[in-house]
């Protein structure tokens, strides 16, 4: 049995990672400020399920505030899994300060938890957005990450660099996992997958940025959680892509959602968003080599799980804000 700190525990990936570790017999301390980056009802829903589990302890605190480091002085964590972040490319253009505070200062504080209290393993979530506008496809970890397209990617680049410096200075074993567009039940309502499911089922217009030919390598939540937990093994310092093996255009995603719900979408095309990448596609050979990981859940099955979850939770999920 191991003892973990999960930052961003009320978030999409943090909640599922916490739940999985507890189901595996481990104990988890979660921290999250439950901010309103998207409708906080999603976070409260996830938290309610988590706090009902034995072996889960929670702090509603902001990781960018230095005093929160001390919360953990007697915990003796085996690993810190650092998932808390302001996420999402578009809002980072409007409010870059909040991204720098949470993603850079917050990461520094969580690295300090490791340094000050002797935790030997740090796993941090980074993003495919770090590869900028024109990477090779599929994109390997060795592709340039020096031309971020928005403050979100820039803040993750800064966080990755800090993680490396703490590995170098203090010997903290650190793995950066770069996720590629994650989806699944109780997923983020600010991302396309949740929005399309809600809009199609509720008969609302389906708003698409640009012509819908942009594409994504979507990755199912349970695959991401499995890869993240595998990344807690000792590796030195490594950066590892965790991404889906299927790439789908936004137009085809709408069609697949129509097919699986049996409903017709009323698609409305708007201007493209300059902060968005045209596509992303992971080269996951390093994840296979180092972690024995590859994605297992295909898009059709994963999307069906999300639709089933939505229908089950529809009474409140229909009101979750998707502005």
Residues 205 and 266: beta-carbon distance below 8 Å: yes
Does 281 sit near ligand NAD (CB under 6 A)?
no
Give alpha helix (H) positions in the chain. Answer: 12-23, 40-51, 89-94, 96-100, 106-117, 151-170, 192-201, 221-230, 250-261, 285-291, 299-312, 314-317
The Cβ-side half-sphere exposure at 252, using a 13 Å CA radius, reads 12
Other Cβ atoms less than 10 A from the Cβ of 131: the count is: 28
Q: What one-character-per-residue DSSP string does 75-117 give?
A: ---SEEEE------HHHHHH-HHHHHIIIIIHHHHHHHHHHHH
Task: Count interface residues toward ligand NAD (CB under 6 A).
Answer: 29
To the nearest whole angstrom, how small is the minimum distance from the Cβ of residue 113 to ligand NAD? 13
To the nearest whole angstrom, how small is the minimum distance from the Cβ of residue 128 to ligand NAD? 6
Does 4 sit near ligand NAD (CB under 6 A)?
no
Q: Which is nearer to ligand NAD, 263 or 278 (by Cβ)?
A: 278
Q: Which is nearer to ligand NAD, 43 or 121 (by Cβ)?
A: 43
Does 131 sit near ligand NAD (CB under 6 A)?
no
Q: Which of 21, 150, 8 is closest to 85 using CA atoms?
A: 8
User: Rounded to an integer, what distance in angstroms lies between the CA atom of residue 70 and that of residue 11?
Assistant: 22
Of the residues 63, 267, 277, 284, which one makes contact with ligand NAD according to CB under 6 A: 63
Of the residues 110, 123, 176, 182, which one makes contact with ligand NAD according to CB under 6 A: 182
Residues 88 and 81: beta-carbon distance below 8 Å: no
Q: Which is nearer to ligand NAD, 60 or 264 (by Cβ)?
A: 60
Of the residues 5, 10, 111, 254, which one makes contact with ligand NAD according to CB under 6 A: 10
Of the residues 8, 148, 151, 227, which one makes contact with ligand NAD according to CB under 6 A: 8
For ligand NAD, which stretch binds (CB under 6 A), given 8-16, 112-120, 269-277, 306-314?
8-16
For residue 86 the two structure tokens come to 């302001």
Residues 160 and 126: beta-carbon distance below 8 Å: yes
By CB under 6 A, the residues from 213 to 242 that bind ligand NAD are: none
Of the residues 19, 127, 261, 322, which one makes contact with ligand NAD according to CB under 6 A: 127
Write down the catalytic residue from 4, 45, 152, 183.
152
Of the residues 19, 145, 181, 228, which one makes contact with ligand NAD according to CB under 6 A: 181
To the nearest whole angstrom, how small is the minimum distance from the Cβ of residue 143 to ligand NAD? 16
Name the residue with the smallest CB distance to ligand NAD: 11
Torsion of CA 206, 211, 178, 30, to 10 degrees: -20
To the nearest whole angstrom, how small is the minimum distance from the Cβ of residue 309 to ligand NAD? 15
For residue 244 the two structure tokens come to 């889906």
By CB under 6 A, the residues from 11 to 50 that bind ligand NAD are: 11-14, 31-35, 37, 43
To the nearest whole angstrom, how small is the minimum distance from the Cβ of residue 266 to ligand NAD? 26
Q: Is 152 an active-site residue?
A: yes
To the nearest whole angstrom, how small is the minimum distance from the Cβ of residue 167 to ligand NAD? 18
CA distances from 62 to 5, 31, 32, 91 (A): 14, 8, 7, 19
Torsion of CA 303, 40, 16, 183, to 10 degrees: 20
Residues 176 and 239: beta-carbon distance below 8 Å: yes
Q: What one-character-per-residue DSSP string does 30-56 give?
A: EE----SSS-HHHHHHHHHHHHTSTTE
Residues at the site binding ligand NAD, with contacts judged by CB under 6 A: 8, 10-14, 31-35, 37, 43, 62-64, 83-87, 102, 106, 125, 127, 179, 181-182, 188
Q: Active-site residue numbers?
A: 152
């Amino acid at each position: 049995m191991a003892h973990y700190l999960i930052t961003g525990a009320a978030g999409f990936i943090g909640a599922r990672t916490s739940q999985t570790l507890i189901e595996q017999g481990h104990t988890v301390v979660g921290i999250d400020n439950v901010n309103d980056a998207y409708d906080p009802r999603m976070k409260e829903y996830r938290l309610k399920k988590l706090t009902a589990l034995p072996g889960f302890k929670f702090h509603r605190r902001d990781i960018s505030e230095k005093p929160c480091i001390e919360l953990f002085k007697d915990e003796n964590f085996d690993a810190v899994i650092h998932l808390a972040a302001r996420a999402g490319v578009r809002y980072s253009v409007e409010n870059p300060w909040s991204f720098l505070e949470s993603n850079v200062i917050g990461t520094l504080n969580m690295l300090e938890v490791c340094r000050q209290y002797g935790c030997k393993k740090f796993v941090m979530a980074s993003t495919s957005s770090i590869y900028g506008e024109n990477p090779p496809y599929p994109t390997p970890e060795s592709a340039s990450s020096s031309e971020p397209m928005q403050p979100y990617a820039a803040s993750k680049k800064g966080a990755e660099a800090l993680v490396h410096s703490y590995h170098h200075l203090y010997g903290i074993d650190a793995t950066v996992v770069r996720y590629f567009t994650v989806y699944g039940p109780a997923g983020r309502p600010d991302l396309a997958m949740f929005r399309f499911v809600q809009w199609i089922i509720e008969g609302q217009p389906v708003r698409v940025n640009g012509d819908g030919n942009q594409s994504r390598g979507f990755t199912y939540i349970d695959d991401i959680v499995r890869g993240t937990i595998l990344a807690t093994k000792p590796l030195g310092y490594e950066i590892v892509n965790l991404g889906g093996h299927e790439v789908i255009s936004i137009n085809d995603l709408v069609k697949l959602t129509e097919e699986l719900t049996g409903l017709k979408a009323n698609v409305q095309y708007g201007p493209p968003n300059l902060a968005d990448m045209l596509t992303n596609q992971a080269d996951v050979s390093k994840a296979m080599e180092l972690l024995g990981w590859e994605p297992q859940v295909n898009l059709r099955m994963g999307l069906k799980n999300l639709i089933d979850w939505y229908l089950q939770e529809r009474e409140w999920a229909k009101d979750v804000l998707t502005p």
